[in-house]
Amino acid sequence: MAAQGPMTEATYYILLALMKPGHGYGMMQRIKELSAGRIEMGPGTLYGVLTRMSKEGLIRLTSEEARRKNYSITDEGKQALHIEYQRLKQLVNDGKILEEEDHI
């Protein structure tokens, strides 16, 4: 996989949501749950990111029912998600000095 830059919030949450296979609207509901209502993804964002990630091989189409398409995350997608998670954790760790400052 090519060197990965920081993910957008939308990509990160859609990949997270797809740890359990699902369709478009289901993903949006799941993202809302995962973010405790903080993120209400618009259909434009969702469709655009799904199309791009599908081309990049981060997700794959698993089934189609009527107009709905179901997707799941690929191994490459999982790897990208873990890399991003580690990056975010590192950012949070690095920011811990702020808490230490607050205690002084």
Partner 1 sequence: MNGKYGLHPKEFALGETEKYYSDMAGKGWELADRGIIFSKFRKTAPQQMRYRVEVVAPNQLHEGTLPEEQIAIYDECGWEYVTGSGYIHVFRAPVGSAAPEFYLEPEQQAATLKCLRKNQLIALISPLLYLLVMLIMHTAFSGYSPREISSGFYWMWVTDTEFVTLISLTFILVICNQFWEVYQLNRLYRNLKKGTPLNHAPKSRRLISISVELAVLVLFCTALGYHFFADNSYPMPASSADPYIFLADLGMDGKRTTSFVTGKESTVTYKQTHLAEYWKCSEYVSYHGNEEWLKQDTYILKNKNMVPHFTIAVMNGSAFAPSEDGFKPVTIDGLDQAWISNYLQCVAVKGNMVTIFTHPWENEKDMIAALKAVSEKWNSVE
Contact pick of 7, 10, 16, 80 for partner 1 (by CB under 8 A): 10
Least distance between partner 1 and beta carbon 3 (Å): 21
Please report whether residue 40 would count as binding partner 1 according to CB under 8 A: yes
Q: 28 φ, ψ to 5°? A: -65, -40
CB of 91 to partner 1, least distance (A): 19
Starting at the edge strand found earlier in the chain, the sheet holding 22-23 runs 22-23, 68-73, 59-65
Task: Rule CB under 8 A: choose which of 6, 42, 88, 89 binds partner 1.
Answer: 42
Angstrom distance (rounded) from CA 84 to CA 3? 12
DSSP class of residue 32 equals H
25 contributes a contact to partner 1 by CB under 8 A: yes
